Structure 1
Amino acid sequence: MKKFVFIILILLLTSIFVFSIYKIFYTSYDNKKASFLYEEVKKDNEEKVNLQETNKDYKFWLTIPNTQIDYPVVQGIDNDFYLNHDFYKNPSLSGTLFLDYRNTVNIDKNIIIYGHNMKNGSMFNNLVYYKNPTFFNNNKKISLTINDITFEYDVFQVVIAKEDNVYLNGSITSFEEFKSYLNTNGLYDVYFNISDKDNFLTLYSCSYEYAGARILVFAKRI
């Protein structure tokens, strides 16, 4: 009986080991594949290829200087599909940066973009740089390029919050509530000159201070 239990235990541990090795190699392979894919998409964008002909869900290009964030942004019919599908709609651990499905570009006062915090530094991983006061103070600019027109945004606040305590109002129906949320939860004790007539950008990803932590970077169109 003891020998039987020992064999079962060995088989179980071997299975766990093999699965762990497989997962490590698969993750590495998927990351390299995603890196190559997005380099190709960036090349197409630089050569003025119409990315909407490649993927009708393409909305605009997002760039944050001094980070690796330089990606296309898509919009699906929900906030789930592009969590695990790439720009070509193939399964991918990295997913794609995507606009909240409830947003309407150039109409809503606040547009929200989601992306994974990938350990290899891709997608929205570099948003964590904004937790550093020096980086926050010296890297305010974000650009969105829509139909060859570039809109500049200025980062004014960063929030770390639990997933169930984030402000993700697509249209900002209560501006006073929005300001109160930023003042109460923001990382930085700074004065920001914003009004209900401004257009805002919210970048959203995971953070790892605690279970369910999220980072939100808020910027204003200038």
Structure 2
Amino acid sequence: MKKNYSNILWALAFVLLFVFLYRNDRLTQEKIAYYQAENMRRFYSSKRIDKAREEEVNNIVKKADEGRLLAFLKEKIREESDAEAAAGVNYVRELQKTYPQVKGRIIIDGTSIDFPVVQGDDNEFYLDHDYDNSYYINGGVFIDYVHKGDFSDQNTVIYGHNVRIGYIFHDLDKFRDKNFIKKHSEIIIDTPVARRTFEVICAMDVHVDDDYRFNYYDDDEFEEYLKLISENNILEDRPLPKKDDKLLTLSTCSDVRDRYAIVAVEKKEAYVNKKDFNYPRAIASLRKRQGQNISIY
């Protein structure tokens, strides 16, 4: 009986010791937190940091928070852009299964230009045929037959009619507006392999025999090409292309001279910054466009 009573006393003593140590530890932590807070209060209220310094510290913290938020948003944009690019590539691949002549798709934000891009054995067939090879008075959007067709040439030229009532490449005239280029300077080319993004650097009226449609330029030819751009570019404050740039040229007819051309340089960024492209556009947008007996030039 005495032994049991002794065990109970020892157990009770152990419990009391544990409670004492626990409470003492909590009090110690609370004291430490209190003194830390009190020291910080005294520090900020003392002359060791004035109001200007406090604002400077707050601004540093604010900029750090903004930097983290900006990095987060950029990553979200990149993820969404990568998803859109994958959808664009898959769209072209699916289109190619039925129409192997399709080499890609061209989209220019702010315009109605959203077409499959094809390539034929000459530059005549698609003047009055659509991407599916059926007759269409307005024609298709097609790559010059002398080019490789995979946008690997130094310069890839794409043709399309300038239809007076607004079809095909008529909306390229929007680049004559100085304000348009400020918001809409990108050309998207989706291929079966990847999305290619080009920055518009030139809009010019040229003669049909001007040398703006070469797929490759040697050094002397390229100097003449730069001169042609410099003398005819209606866009302001746009850089000249470099010889190792990948170029995209959109060519259509013009009332000013024989031809009107848009020149763009491939961008080095891994993703498109604009977020108002609608991918994938409905297949209905590529349904047979009704042929009309309208004036083209």
Taking structure 1 as the reference length, the TM-score comes to 0.74
Q: Is the 8 A contact 2:89 2:194 kept in 1?
A: no
2:159 to 108, 111, 114: 114
Residues 154-173 of structure 1 mapped to structure 2, 5 A cutoff: 154-165=199-210, 167-173=212-218
Q: Is the 8 A contact 2:90 2:192 kept in 1?
A: no
Displacement, 1:119? 2.2
CA deviation map 1:125-161 (0-9, x unaligned): 1001111111123211001111152111000011112
Displacement, 1:162? 2.4
Q: Is the 8 A contact 2:251 2:261 kept in 1?
A: yes
1:77 to 91, 113, 121: 121
- SS of structure 1 residue aligned to 2:241: coil
Q: Distance in 2 between matches of 1:46 and 1:53?
A: 11
Distance 1:187 1:48, change over 3 A: closer
- SS of structure 1 residue aligned to 2:179: helix
CA deviation map 1:87-119 (0-9, x unaligned): 221111111100000111243110000001112
Aligned twin of 2:230: 183
Residues 83-122 of structure 1 mapped to structure 2, 5 A cutoff: 83-104=127-148, 105-122=150-167
Displacement, 1:191? 4.0
Displacement, 1:46? 8.0
Distance 1:208 1:106, change over 3 A: closer
Q: Is the 8 A contact 2:252 2:259 kept in 1?
A: yes
Distance 1:78 1:150, change over 3 A: same
Aligned twin of 1:137: 182
Q: Distance in 2 between matches of 1:153 and 1:48?
A: 18
Q: Distance in 1 between matches of 2:224 and 2:92?
A: 41
1:194 to 222, 241, 250: 241
Structure index of larger Rg: 2
Letter in 2 for 1:115: G
Distance 1:50 1:181, change over 3 A: same
- SS of structure 2 residue aligned to 1:165: coil
Unpaired segments ≥5 residues, structure 1? 1-43
Displacement, 1:190? 2.5
Q: Distance in 1 between matches of 2:253 and 2:93?
A: 31
- Of 150-159 and 170-179, more deviation after overlay is shown by 170-179
Unpaired segments ≥5 residues, structure 2? 1-87, 268-297
RMSD (Å) for aligned C-alpha atoms = 2.1
Displacement, 1:186? 1.3
- SS of structure 1 residue aligned to 2:196: strand
Q: Distance in 2 between matches of 1:119 and 1:51?
A: 28
Displacement, 1:57? 1.0
**In the alignment, is residue 61 of structure 1 matched against residue 105 of structure 2?**
yes
Q: Is the 8 A contact 1:45 1:51 kept in 2?
A: no
Q: Distance in 1 between matches of 2:161 and 2:252?
A: 6
CA deviation map 1:167-198 (0-9, x unaligned): 11111233212211100121134240531111
2:95 to 28, 51, 67: 51
Aligned twin of 1:13: none
